[in-house]
Chain A
Amino acid sequence: MSPPASPTSERLWTRGSPWRVVAVPVTIALAAVGAIAASRVGVPLVFGALAGGTAALLGVFALPSLSTRRVVVVLLGLAGLGALRHASYSGSDTSPLLLCWAAATLVALLLVDRTGAEQVKPLALGAPLASRSGEVFRLSVTTAVIVAVAVVALGPTLTQHLGRHVWPGVDPSIGDIQSASTTLRNTDELDMTQRPHLSDRVVFTVTAPRPEFWRGETFDLWNGHAWTQSGPPATSVPHVGDTSVIRPEADDVGAFTGPPMRQTFHLESGFSDVIFAAPSPVSVEADRLVQQRDDGTASVVEGFGTGATYTVTSRSILSTESSLRAADARPVPASVRRQFAQEPTTTPRVRKLARDITASAPTTYDKIRALEAWMGAHVRYSIDAPIAPRGVDVVDDFLFRSRLGWCEQVASSLVVMARSVGIPARLATGFVPGTRDALTGQFTVRERDAHAWAEIYFPGVGWQPFDPTASVPLAGDTSTNVSWLETARNHAVEFGLIALALVLAVVAAPDVIAWARRRRARRRSSWAARRLARLERIGRRAGRARAPSETPREYADALAVHLHDARLRTVGETLDADGFSLVGAPPSARADADAVLSSL
C-alpha cells in the first residue's frame, strides 16, 4: 500500500519510528541466509550471519535517499534468492536456518505493511488498530499455518509429478571422492577388520512407495577376515537415452516376475559411484554411463555428485513365511549352489555350531530363523566392539570370544553359518530405509544408516534379505544414546503439532474467555435483556444493527419496517414493559414475543 509519503531513512531515525522495528526481522532474514551460504562454502556460520546482518543494517539505515519500504522489500527479495540458491544440495543441516529465514521474512512483510498503515491518519472516533505485536503474532501464526499446509501439500506433488527423475547434480571434486565413506564407493572388498565411521550426515533421500533395504553391493567370497566378489568385473550396460536396462541374475526369479517398484534417489553426499536400489534393479535412469555386475548390482563409471538424481525400477517377490517354507520343495539351481553354498572358510566349531542350531529346523526358512534366534540370544550389538586380532577368523572370534559386534559381524556370521549347513547365502551392503519424513513422504538416509545384511536364496522366489542384526540386542546399557536434538528431529511433526495447538490455544484463549463470560452474563440476565440480545442478533444478520442511541422499542419499530414484520412492534412494547415496569410483561405477552423471535 502506498502511504501518503514515502518513508525514508529520515523517518527511520525518528524516535519511536516503526521502521526501526522492521529492521530487526530483515536483519535476521539476511543473517540466516548468510549463515546458510557460509555453511555451503565451509566458513563458520557466525561469519556468514554477521555478513548478512551487516548488509541488511547498512541497506536499511544507510540509504537515506531511498524509500525504506522499497529497500526492505528489495533486501527481502535478495535474501529469498540467496535462500533459493543455497536451499539446493544443503541437506537437512540448514533446515533450521531456512525456517528462520522464512519466519523472519514473514514477520518483516507483516511489519512493513502494518507500518505503512500506521502512517495513515486514524479515522476520527474510529476503532483503534490492534496492537502491533498482537497483530503481527496472530497473523504470523495464521499465515504460517496456511503456508505450511501449502508447502506440505504441494511440495511432494511438485517434485514427484512435475520434477525430473534424472538430474546431473554437481560434479564431485577430488575432496568429495576422498572423503566419501566406503559404503558409497564401489569396492571389490569389504574388510571386516576396519571399524566404520558413521555420522548423522544425510547421504541421500529416496522417494519410494515403501521402505526397503537400499542395496549397493553383494559379496560372496569369505576368506576369514574380508568379503570379496567372485564374479567378473562390472561391464557397461547399453542404454537408450537416460535409461539403462539391468540384466538380473538368471536365477533371481523375483527380478523377472515380481511387481515393479520405482524409486528416485537424490544424492546429498558429495560423491557416490554406487547405484543404490531396492533388490533387484531392472532399469536405471541416470545421466551417467551405468555398469553392472553379474549379481545384478549397478554402479556408474563417473561417480555422482551432490544433487544428482537417478531413478531405479526394481522387481522382487513380496514373500510370506509360508511361501518361503514351501520353497524347499524346489531344487536349488546348480549355479547358485556352486557359487553361494560352497563350504565357507571358517573354523570347525563354527560349522558345528551352525549344524547344532539348525538340527531341528525342518526347512531352510526355519534354519535361518533358528540362526537369527541364537544370535539374538547369545551376541550383542556394539559399534565399539573390539576388532578381531590379525590372523583370527572374524566370525569365530565374534561367535565364541567377543560376542560383541556390529552389523557386518552379525550378518557375516549368519551367511557363514548358513553356508555351513548348505544354504545359499551372500552378504549385502547398503543402507536401511532411513527416516520417513511424515511431511514430504521421502526417506532420509544418513551415514549412520549404513548397514550389512544377509541374502538367502529360495528356489522359485529368489534372493530374500534377512537382517539378523534386528534380532540382536544392544550391548550394555539398554537406554538409547539419542540426543535431544535427534529426538526433536525425529518427532518434528508431533512437536510441531503440539506447538501449533499450544499457540492456537494461547491465541484463542481471550476470545474463548470472552465468549464464556458473555454466555454466563446472558444466563444471569433478565428475560428482557436476553430477548433484546436476540433481537439485536436478528437485526445484525439482517444488516440493521442497533444504534447505541436506540431504545429497544425504537429498534424493534425500525426492524419491523426493515424486515416488513409488524409483529416486531409488539415485541418492542413487551420488551419495554418487561424491562421498565414493576410487574413485568404478562406471561402471555412474553410467550408471544418468544414466538415471534423464534419465527425469525
Chain B
Amino acid sequence: MSGPGELTLTSIVLFTLGAYGIAAGAASGEQGVVAVGVFAFALFVLGIIWPIVMLSGVGMEAWAPADATVGEPHDVHVRLFGRVARVELRLLDPPGEWRVTASPANGIIPRVPARRGVFSGLRFELRTSAPLGVFVRSRVMHVVLPMDQAVAPRPLISAAPTEATPHRLYERLPDGAVAVTSTATPGLGDSVRSVRPYVAGDSARLVHWPTSARRGTLVVREHEPPGIVGVALVVDLDVTFDDAERIASRAAGIGRATLAAGGAVWCCTGEASGPVSARVVDQRDLGRRLARACAGPVGAPPSGWPVIVVTA
C-alpha cells in the first residue's frame, strides 16, 4: 500500500525556472538559457524520481510484544531492508513521532496503543525527500507481525469486590434478556479444620486449651483457608462503540483489582468465534480475553459465582 507524496516549495521554484528557461531558451536559441532551464528542470525531475525509486526498494519487518495495553507504551522492533541514505518512518494507528535513519537498519520505535483489539500487523508510514527536497515521497506499509498482538483495554481504577459487593447471579433468559436471579456468599476462612501439636513460633492465641489439657501437650488450632473472593464478569459489548470501550476498561479494572487481591475472575464475553465463558488465569489472560471481546452473545457465568454485569 503506498501513497503518492507531496511537492514542496523547492519543486515549484525549480519547475518554474525549468519551464521558463526551456521555453525562453528554445524560442531565442540561447544555449545558455536552455542550459539553465534544463538544469532546473532536470533537478525537478530527478528530485521526484529519486525518492520514488529509493523508497520503492525499502522492505520492512516488525516485532511487537504479544500483549499490550491501551495507553501503556511498549517498544516495536523494526528492521528496514534496501539501501536508502535517509528515510523517515513513524507508526500509524495512532500516528507517532517521525524517526530518521539510514537503511538497512534495525531499530526501536516506541508505541502507545490507542485501540483495544487483536492486531495481526502494524501500519508504518515511510517518507523521504532525499536528496534534493523537491518531492516528499511517502509510503504506508502494513507489516505483518510474527504473532498477533492483543491490546487490552486501559483498566479503569476499581476496587476489588468485597463482601459488601452485591452479588447477583446472572441468567440469560430464552428470549435473550438478562436477569439477576440470586446472590451467593463466599467462604470466610475462619472455621477450624483440625488441631496439631504446638511448634515453636505458633501464636499463643491459637492454642486450643481444652484439647491441650486433655492430651497433656500443647495443641494448636488449624483453620480452613479463607474462601475464594471470586467474581464472574459479564462483559457484554453489544452497545455503542464508546460504551463498549468503557465497559471493557471497567471490566479490566475490576478484574485486575480482583486478581491483585488474590481473588478469582471468571470472564463471560462474546468473541468472533462465539460466546466464551472461562476463568482467567492472570492479568495477561484477562487482557487477552478483553482484547478479543467483541459485540455478540456472551458466555453464561458459572453457577455459584458472584456476578458483576459490567455496564458503561
A residues sitting closer than 8 Å to B (CB atoms) are: 1-2, 4, 70, 73-74, 76-77, 80-81, 83-84, 87-90, 94-95, 98, 102, 106, 109-110, 112-114, 116-118, 120-130, 135, 139, 143, 146-147, 150-151, 154-156, 158-159, 162-165, 167, 205, 264, 266, 307, 309, 440, 442, 543, 545
Q: Tell me the smallest distance from the CB of A190 to a CB of chain B, in Å.
A: 31
Known contacts A130-B102, A135-B85; is A84 also within 8 Å of B38 by CB? no
Q: How far is the CA of A87 from the CA of B131 in the complex (A)?
A: 26
Q: CB-defined interface of B8-43 with A at 8 Å, one 1/0 digit per residue? A: 111001101100111011111111111111111111
Partner of B46, one of A89, A135, A147, A264: A147
- Complex contact B89–A164 (CB within 8 A): no
Known: A84-B24, A163-B28. 4 other contacts (CB 8 A): A73-B8, A122-B99, A122-B101, A164-B29
User: A158 and B34 in contact (CB under 8 A), knowing A77-B13, A84-B21?
Assistant: yes
List 24 interface pairs A-B (beta carbons < 8 Å), by A numbering.
A1-B127, A2-B136, A73-B10, A84-B20, A84-B37, A88-B33, A98-B36, A109-B132, A121-B98, A121-B99, A122-B99, A122-B100, A125-B106, A139-B131, A143-B46, A146-B46, A147-B43, A151-B42, A158-B25, A163-B26, A165-B29, A264-B29, A307-B28, A543-B81
B262 within 8 A of A: no
The residues of B that contact A128 with a CB separation of less than 8 Å are 101-102
Out of B8, B29, B34, B104, which one reaches A309, CB within 8 Å?
Answer: B29
A155 & B34 in contact (Cβ 8 Å cutoff): yes
A127 and B9 contacting across the interface, CB-CB below 8 Å: no
Q: Which residues of A contact B78 (CB under 8 A)?
A: 123
Counting CB contacts under 8 A, is B105 at the interface?
A: yes
The answer to the question of B188 belonging to the interface, with a C-beta cut-off of 8 Å to chain A, is: no
B10, A129: Cβ atoms closer than 8 Å: no
- Tell me if B122 counts as interface (CB < 8 A to partner A): no
Given the complex, which residues of B lie within 8 Å of A545, measured CB to CB? 79, 81
Decide if B46 touches A205 in the complex (CB within 8 Å): no
Rounded to whole Å, the gap between the CB of B121 and the closest CB of chain A is 16
Chain A residue at minimum C-beta to C-beta distance from B23: A162
Please tell me if B123 contacts chain A, counting CB pairs below 8 Å.
Answer: no
Residues of B within 8 A of A120 (CB): 88, 98-100
**B46-A87 in contact (CB<8A):** no
Asked if B86 and A80 make an inter-chain contact with CB atoms under 8 angstroms apart, the answer reads: no
Contact A159 B26 (CB under 8 A): yes
Q: For the complex, give the distance between the alpha carbons of A324 and B46 in Å.
A: 55
Distance between Cα atoms of A309 and B107 in the complex (Å) = 61
For the complex, what is the distance from the CA of A109 to the CA of B26, rounded to whole Å? Answer: 26
> Which chain B residues lie closer than 8 Å to A95 at the CB level?
32
Cα–Cα distance between A443 and B63 once the two chains are bound (Å): 64
Chain B residue at smallest Cβ distance from A121:
B99
Residues of A within 8 A of B130 (CB): 113-114, 117, 139
Interface size on B, residues (CB 8 A): 65
Task: Point out the residues of chain B lying under 8 angstroms from A122, CB to CB.
Answer: 99-101
Other-chain residue from A147, A164, A205 in contact with B31 (beta carbon distance below 8 A): A205
Task: A2 to B8: give the CA distance in the assembly, Å.
Answer: 9
User: Which chain B residue has the least Cβ–Cβ distance from A545?
Assistant: B81
Q: Specify which chain B residues have a CB less than 8 angstroms from the CB of A129 in the assembled complex.
A: 85-86, 100-102
Q: Determine the chain B residues whose CB is within 8 A of the CB of A121 once the complex forms.
A: 97-100
Q: Contact at A123–B30, with CB atoms within 8 Å?
A: no
Closest to B102 in A: A127
Residues on B with beta carbons closer than 8 Å to the beta carbon of A266? 29-31
Taking a contact as CB atoms closer than 8 A, the residue among B40, B104, B132 that contacts A110 in the complex is B132
B133 at the interface (CB under 8 A from A): yes
The answer for the CA separation of A121 and B99 in the assembled complex, in Å, is 5
Question: Nearest Cβ distance between residue A593 and chain B, in whole angstroms?
Answer: 26
Please pick, from A74, A102, A163, the residue contacting B29 in the complex, using a CB distance under 8 A.
A163
B53 to chain A, nearest CB (A): 12
CB pair B129 A1 closer than 8 Å? yes
- Contact residues in A for B4 (Cβ distance below 8 Å): none
Q: Within the complex, what minimum Cβ distance (angstroms) separates A38 from chain B?
A: 17
Q: How far is the CB of B8 from chain A (nearest CB, A)?
A: 7
Q: Which residues of the other chain, B, contact A118 by a CB distance below 8 angstroms?
A: 100
Asked if B218 is at the interface (CB within 8 A of a chain A CB), the reply is: no
> Do residues B88 and A76 form an inter-chain contact, with CB atoms below 8 A?
no
Closest CB in chain B relative to A493 CB, distance in Å: 15
B228 at the binding interface (Cβ < 8 Å): no
CB nearest neighbor in B for A264: B29
- The answer to whether B114 has its CB under 8 Å from any CB of chain A is no
B71-96: which have CB < 8 Å to A? 78-81, 85-86, 88-89
Give the distance to chain B from A104, nearest Cβ to Cβ, in Å: 12
| B145 at interface by CB-CB < 8 Å | no
From B31, B39, B81, B105, A123 is in contact (CB under 8 Å) with B105
Bound form: Cα–Cα A81–B36 in Å: 9
Which residues of A lie under 8 Å from residue B108 when comparing CB positions?
123-125
Q: Per a CB cutoff under 8 Å, which of A1, A77, A98, A124 touches B99?
A: A124
Q: Which residues of B contact A1 (CB under 8 A)?
A: 8, 88, 127-129, 133, 136
Q: Are B28 and A155 in contact, CB atoms less than 8 angstroms apart?
A: no
Contacts of B39 in A (CB 8 A): 102, 147, 151
Residue pair A106, B10 in contact (C-beta under 8 Å): no
> Are B28 and A309 touching (Cβ within 8 A)?
yes
Asked whether any CB of chain A lies closer than 8 Å to the CB of B189, the reply is: no
Q: Bound complex: CA of A403 vs CA of B64, how far in Å? A: 94
A156 contacts which chain B residues (CB < 8 A)? 31
Report chain B residues within 8 Å CB of A117: 86, 88, 100, 130
Kindly identify which residue among A73, A151, A162 contacts B13, using a CB–CB cutoff of 8 Å. Answer: A73
| B28 and A123 contact, CB distance less than 8 A | no
Say whether A159 contacts B34, CB under 8 Å.
yes
B59 within 8 A of A: yes
In this complex, which of A73, A84, A118, A146 has the most chain B Cβ atoms within 10 angstroms of its Cβ? Answer: A84
Which residue of A80, A88, A90, A116 is within 8 Å of B40 (Cβ)?
A80
CB distance from B135 to the nearest CB of A (A): 9
Q: How far is the CA of A113 from the CA of B86 in the complex (A)?
A: 10
Q: Do B36 and A87 touch across chains, with their CB atoms under 8 A apart?
A: yes
A126 touches B38 (CB 8 A): no
What is the CB-to-nearest-CB distance from A241 to chain B, in angstroms, rounded to a whole number?
17
Closest residue of B by beta carbon distance from A155: B34
By Cβ-Cβ distance, the 8 closest A-B pairs, closest first, are A113-B133, A126-B101, A126-B107, A87-B32, A127-B105, A77-B13, A123-B101, A123-B107
Q: Could you say which residues of chain A place their CB within 8 Å of the CB of B32?
A: 87-88, 90, 94-95, 98
Min CB gap A157→B, angstroms = 9
